[in-house]
Chain A
Amino acid sequence: DAGVIQSPRHEVTEMGQEVTLRCKPISGHNSLFWYRQTMMRGLELLIYFNNNVPIDDSGMPEDRFSAKMPNASFSTLKIQPSEPRDSAVYFCASRRQGLTSPLHFGNGTRLTVT
């Protein structure tokens, strides 16, 4: 079991640039979550998918953020244009569908926007 794989591990970009974060969930998992961690707000849920379909995107900060899951083994979170306040650690997580299935997290992408 390779675990949830996120890339890149670190991303430094300038304000106004487009940023794309990538995630490969664990094979067989059909729910995928994107979270953002900051000191002030802890772990914020941005969006989650069941069977590749977005279920709740109420946590997406604004239209600059978008997420896709074109198939069961890949998801992206895109920020365009990026701003310094987007600097945070972004986590992707997956689990088998079902309330009691624990969520498995990737190691995160640390994004710095200058």
Chain B
Amino acid sequence: DQQVKQNSPSLSVQEGRISILNCDYTNSMFDYFLWYKKYPAEGPTFLISISSIKDKNEDGRFTVFLNKSAKHLSLHIVPSQPGDSAVYFCARANAGGTSYGKLTFGQGTILTVHP
């Protein structure tokens, strides 16, 4: 079973500091990883992604790191802003087999950024 796990249900950070959200996965070779952000009463929205051939991808304040040996993914937000307060989901898109393109999500981490 190919799983994606976010072991921290919540994270609280002071405005201006760094937020680090973590994700672990199993049984992946060439999959594609994504982060989504969700506000209450809305659907998740795409934030940033990374291919398994890379170990880092950066977009403004958001950087995703991929550690393939540890099967670990992290999202760094710096500096954190109150508007970043939301639920963050990591996700994996299957790159092979009969379930090519299947997108599975972790349980989510609630980020709260205090002014």
Contact = CB atoms under 8 A, between A and B. Distances in A.
B102 A55 contact: yes
Contacts, number: 66
Most buried by B among A33, A100, A102: A102
Interface residues of B, number: 27
Interface stretch (A11-19, A70-78, A104-112): A104-112
Interface in A89-114: 91, 93, 97-100, 102-108
B107 interface: yes
Nearest to B109: A42
A106 B41 CA distance: 10
B101 A97 contact: yes
Contacts of B43: 4, 91, 93, 105-108
B100 A99 contact: yes
A86 to B, nearest CB: 19
Given A42-B106, A43-B44, A99 B93 contact: yes
Interface of B: 6, 32, 34, 36, 41-46, 49, 51, 89, 91, 93, 95, 98-108
